[in-house]
Structure 1
Amino acid sequence: MEKLKFAITTFIVLLLFSGCKKDFLEKSPPDALTEDGFYNSAERAQLGVNAIYVALQGSWSENLMRINDVPSGDLVLSNTTPLEYNNYTYYPALTQIHATYSGMYQGIIRSNAVIKNVPAINMADALKNQYVGEAKFLRALNYFTLTNLFGAVPLITEPLENTDAALVARTPVADITKVIIADLLAAEAGLPVSFSGNNLGRATKGAAQALLGKVYLYNKDYTNAEKYFSLVIASNRYSLMDNFQEVWHRSFENNKESIFEVQFADIGGSGTNLKNGTMLPAVNGATGSTLATKRAFDAFDPADPRRGMTIFKAGDVFAPNVSAALAVFNPTWSASGYAVKKGMWPIMYVNGSGINYPLIRYADVLLMYAEAANELNQIDKARDAVNLVRQRPSVMMPKLTVVDTGTKQTMFDAIVKERQVELMFEFQRFMDLKRWGMAATVLGPLGYQAKHALFPIPQLELDINPKLTQNTGW
C-alpha cells in the first residue's frame, strides 16, 4: 500500500483516494472526489473504507515513532532534526506533533463518512456490516491513540457540513472512551473472523476484541479486559511465530501472530513506511537518524536471544552479502554505538522497503491478558501467559516460577520487564510507563516531567480553532 502524505489541517470534508499496491486498496480513481453523492454502490463503499486505511499509513509513521518511541528512552535521534524528543524539550509547534494529530483526524473524518453513508446503500447486509465495522474499528483506533497522546480532544462523529463545523471544543476523555467502546462492540459484531487473498490485512473480529481488551485495560477495567483477551486467545486463530525474528520479517507479513498491522506495499522510494533507512546506521562516516540506545540494550538479560534479534551491537553480523566492509557491525557507524535490528533484518539498504507495521500481535495480547489476570489475583494464569511468550522456540527463556513470581507485585514486575523486551520499538513502552504511573521514576533522569504525561495540542490547531485549550504546562 502506498503511503501518502497529505498537506491538511485537522478536518477535511473531502475523501482523497490514491492507488495502492495491496489489492484490497487498489481500486481507486486518480483524482480526489467529493463526498457528496459518492456513496451510491458497494464498490464506492469499499473505496470509502480503503481511504481510511490509506490515512492509517500516514498516522502510524516516522512522526509517531519520534513523538512516542523516542521519549521512551529506547530510541535516540541523531544526525537529524528536531532532536527535542531526546530530552523532552519538544514544544507545540513541532511538525511531528501536528502531523500525527491531523493525520488521525483525517482517518476519523473518513470513517465518519463511511459510517453515515454506507447503511443507506443497496447492497448485501453482510458486506455492509463489514464495511461499517471496519470504519468503526479504525475510528476507535484513531480516537484511542489520540486520547492516549493528547488527552481530551474534539469528538467528531458525523460528517462535517463545512470547515466551521470543525471548530469545536475538547471532549472529556471519559466521553470519548464511551464512543470508542461502542464502536468496537459494533465492529466485533459486524466483522468477519478472518480474510484471505486480496482482502488480507483488513480489520477482523479478533482485532476488535483485542483493541477492546486494551481499552478496558488502560481504563483499569480488568474484568472486561480479561474477558476480551480471553476471547482472542480462545478463538485459536492466532499463535506465536516460532522464530521471533520472523514476526517483523518482510517475508512473513500478516503471519499467524499478527492480529492487525498497517499494510505497506513493496513499491520502493523514500518514506514508504516508518521502518526505512532512517533506522539503519549509515556507513559513510555519518550515523543513522533513529538509533537504539544503550539503555534499551541493557534492558535485556544477557542470555535473552531477543536482544540479538532486536539490536545491533559491535561485532554482530551486519550485511555480508552487500560488501566485505559491511559484513560486521561497527559501533562507530552509530552515535549510540547500537542500531535497531527488529524489522530491519535482513539488511536490504532500500529506503521504504515496504515492511508492514504490526499494531496488535498475539504476544502483546498474551502479555496484556497476563496483566489483567494478575490484577484479578489470577497469578497462575498470568504466569502461564507470560511463559508462553518467553518459551517461543527461538527464545526459550527460563520459565517464571512461583518462587520468583508468587505475589501480585513480583508478577507485575515480571510483566513490566517482559513487555519492554518483547515489544521494544513497537509504540508500547512510553504509554505503558505513563499508565502504570512509572514514567516520572524511570524517565525522570532523561528529563521527563509531569507535563509530559500528555503531548501538547499542536500550535496550528490552537491558532485555527479558538475553542481549543492547551494541555497543562505547555
Structure 2
Amino acid sequence: MKNIQYLLFFFLVYTSCNKLEETPYSSIFTDNFYKTASDAEAALTAVYGPMTSLYSTAGTGASDFSADQIYPRPVVGRDTYTLFSYDPNYTTQKSFSRQFESPEQIWQSCYSGIEKANWVLLRVPATNMDTVRRSVILGEAYYLRAFYLWTLTKNFGDIVLKTSPSTNIDTAIVGKSTQADVFKQIYLDLDQAVSKLPSYSANIQKGRPSKEVAMALYAKTALYAQDWPTALNEAKLVLSSGKYSLMANVLDVYNVAKEDAARQENMWAYECESTTPGYSTQMIGLYGPRNSDGPAYAATTYGSAFVYQAFFDSFNPADLRRKLLDTNYINKLGQVVAQKDITPITKHGVLLKKYMDPNSVGNSGAINIPILRLADVYLIAAEAAAQQSGATAEAYGYINTVRTRAGLQGLTTGLGTAAFVDSVLQERSWELFGEGDRWYDLTRTNTYLQVIPGAVNDVYPTRAPQKKHRYFPIPLDEINANPKLEQNPDWK
C-alpha cells in the first residue's frame, strides 16, 4: 500500500513587535497520486485509518465513564470524566497512553479522517478506473465524513465544518459552524452515500458500510437533530429493506465465535482482530477481572472499569441482557470469585461481558465494538414515531420487538407521549450499555443534570455535572493552533 501524505509546512516568524505569525513556506501535494485504481483504494483505506485511534478507548470510554452505567477504577485520570474534573487542556490525559482515552483523541482522529475523506472526494472522481467501483469508493468517503462529523458534533456541539482538503492556509484555518449546519452537511453527505453504496450482501467486505448503514446513520443523526419525520422515515427504510434482522439470542451478538453471523444485526462495527497485522481495542482489557484472573474474559485484563450496582439492579431478572453482566466469575484455578472480591475498590463491582474474547492474544482480541445495530434502529423508530404522533401502535411495535427478543413482555398501551419516550430511553439504556451511547442520550435530551447526580456508589459518592459538561471543551491545543477557532461558550 502506498503511503499517502499531505504535508503543509509553515514557517513561523516573529515580527518586530514579537507577534507570532504564520507564513506559508511551502506546500507539497501528491499530484502524481490518484492516477490508478490502486491509488484510489489506498486513499480510501487511509480514510478508515483514524478509526483505530478513535476506538482504542476514547470512542466509547470517554462517554461511558461520564454516564450512569459504567465507572472506571479511579486511577490514571479516567475518573476525570466520572467526576467532571477535566479542563480544556485535558491536563491529566496528556501522557501518551491516557491521550487515547481523551476527547482530544476524538477531535484529532475525526479531523484526520475528514481531511483524508476530503482528498478522496476531490481527487478520485478524476481517477482512471472502473466507474462502478469509483462510485462506491466515493460513497464510502461521503459516509465516513458524515460519521466523523456526527461523532464530533455529538461530543463538542458547534464544530469546524470542513468539506475541502487543506490545500492552503485559507482552507486549513477555518472557524466553527453551528450544530444545525453540521447536521445539514451530514444529511447531504449521507444522501450521496445512500445513492452510491450497494445494499448489504455477503459480498460487502466486513467493516464497510452498506446503503442501509448510511440510512441508519441518517436516522440517528435526525434523532439528535430532533428531526422526527426524517428519523422515522430513514429508520423505516432500514427496517423494511429486509437486509438485516435481529439475532434470535441477544447474547450471540457479543459472542466472538459468532461475529460473522452477528453481522445480520451488527450493521457496522469497529472490526477487531487478535492477529498481526490487525486492529484491536483497549476495551477488551479494561472490562475483565483484574490481574488477568478471568480466562473466560480475555488473555490480558486489568479490572479497570465496572458497572454500577444500581444499573445491574434496574434489570428485570428475566431480561436476557442482564446475562451480559456478572456479579461473580471463575478464576484460573476454577474457583468462583464472589462479587465482594471482584475489585479492591468496592464490594459492589459488576463485570461487563460484552467484550469478552477468551482466545485473545495478549492485549489483542477479535470481539468487535458495535457502532450501529439494528436494535438501535428499532428504538430510533419508536422514539421518533412517538415524538411525531404520540404513543401509537406503530411506536409500541418497534420497542416491543426489542423487548420480546430480550425475553420480556411488551409494553402495554396507554402511556402518554412523555412516558413512552422515557420508556424508550430506558430501553436504550438496557439494550446499548457499554457501547458508548448512553451519555449522548442524556445530553441530547438534556437530562444529564437530573440523572447523573443519582448515579453514585461507594467509589464515587458524589457526582456534580454542570451545564457546561453537556459538551466536551474543544482541546486547548486546537484553540491555540487555529486563530479562527473559539472555545465552546460554557467553557470560556
Question: Could you tell which deviates more after superposition, 246-255 or 286-295?
Answer: 286-295
Q: Give 1:323's match in structure 2, choosing from 333, 352, 357.
A: 333
Match of 1:18 in 2: none
Give runs of aligned pairs for residues 236-275 of structure 1, distance below 5 A.
236-254=242-260, 255-267=263-275, 272-275=280-283
Match of 1:414 in 2: 423
SS class of match (2:372): strand
Match of 2:81 in 1: 85
Matched, 1:13 2:3: no
Q: Give 1:55's match in structure 2, choosing from 43, 50, 57.
A: 50
Separation of aligned partners in 2, 1:198 and 1:34? 32
Amino acid of the structure 1 residue aligned with 2:88? P
Alpha-carbon offset, residue 194 of structure 1:
2.0
Question: Could you tell which deviates more after superposition, 337-346 or 383-392?
Answer: 337-346
Q: Give 2:436's match in structure 1, choosing from 416, 427, 431.
A: 427
**TM-score, structure 1 normalization:** 0.86
Match of 2:309 in 1: 294
Question: Could you tell which deviates more after superposition, 196-205 or 283-292?
Answer: 283-292
What per-residue deviation string (whole Å, max 9, x for no partner) do you get for residues 306-330 of structure 1? 1122x2113xxx346x4324x4454
Is the Cα–Cα contact under 8 Å of residues 379 and 406 in structure 1 kept in the other structure? no
Alpha-carbon offset, residue 219 of structure 1:
1.1
Give runs of aligned pairs for residues 203-282 of structure 1, distance below 5 A.
203-254=209-260, 255-267=263-275, 272-282=280-290
Match of 1:8 in 2: none
Match of 1:153 in 2: 159
Match of 1:396 in 2: 407
Separation of aligned partners in 2, 1:462 and 1:342? 37
Separation of aligned partners in 2, 1:130 and 1:198? 11
Question: Could you tell which deviates more after superposition, 161-170 or 353-362?
Answer: 161-170
Alpha carbon RMSD of aligned pairs, Å?
2.5
Match of 2:62 in 1: 67
CA 1:204–1:451: 2 relative to 1, 3 Å: same
- The runs of 5 or more residues in structure 1 that have no matched partner are 1-11, 16-32
CA 1:349–1:131: 2 relative to 1, 3 Å: closer
Separation of aligned partners in 2, 1:273 and 1:345? 12
CA 1:429–1:38: 2 relative to 1, 3 Å: same
Amino acid of the structure 1 residue aligned with 2:334? A
Is the Cα–Cα contact under 8 Å of residues 210 and 360 in structure 1 kept in the other structure? yes
The share of aligned pairs that are identical, in percent, is 31
Match of 2:366 in 1: 354
Query: Runs ≥4 in structure 1, deviation > 3 angstroms?
Result: 33-36, 162-165, 195-198, 268-271, 283-287, 327-331, 345-350
Alpha-carbon offset, residue 89 of structure 1:
0.8
**TM-score, structure 2 normalization:** 0.83
What per-residue deviation string (whole Å, max 9, x for no partner) do you get for residues 206-244 of structure 1? 011111111111111111111110000000111111121
Is the Cα–Cα contact under 8 Å of residues 239 and 362 in structure 1 kept in the other structure? yes
Separation of aligned partners in 1, 2:483 and 2:279? 34
Is the Cα–Cα contact under 8 Å of residues 113 and 159 in structure 1 kept in the other structure? yes
Matched, 1:449 2:466: yes
Alpha-carbon offset, residue 276 of structure 1:
1.8
Alpha-carbon offset, residue 62 of structure 1:
0.6
Separation of aligned partners in 2, 1:142 and 1:274? 20
Is the Cα–Cα contact under 8 Å of residues 35 and 113 in structure 1 kept in the other structure? no
What per-residue deviation string (whole Å, max 9, x for no partner) do you get for residues 229-286 of structure 1? 0000000111111121211222222521021111222226998214321211214899
CA 1:161–1:353: 2 relative to 1, 3 Å: same
Separation of aligned partners in 1, 2:251 and 2:445? 28
Question: Could you tell which deviates more after superposition, 355-364 or 94-103?
Answer: 94-103
Is the Cα–Cα contact under 8 Å of residues 41 and 121 in structure 1 kept in the other structure? yes
What per-residue deviation string (whole Å, max 9, x for no partner) do you get for residues 338-394 of structure 1? 1211122658584221322110000000000000111122521111111111111xx
Separation of aligned partners in 2, 1:360 and 1:229? 12
Matched, 1:312 2:326: yes
CA 1:281–1:184: 2 relative to 1, 3 Å: same
SS class of match (1:360): strand
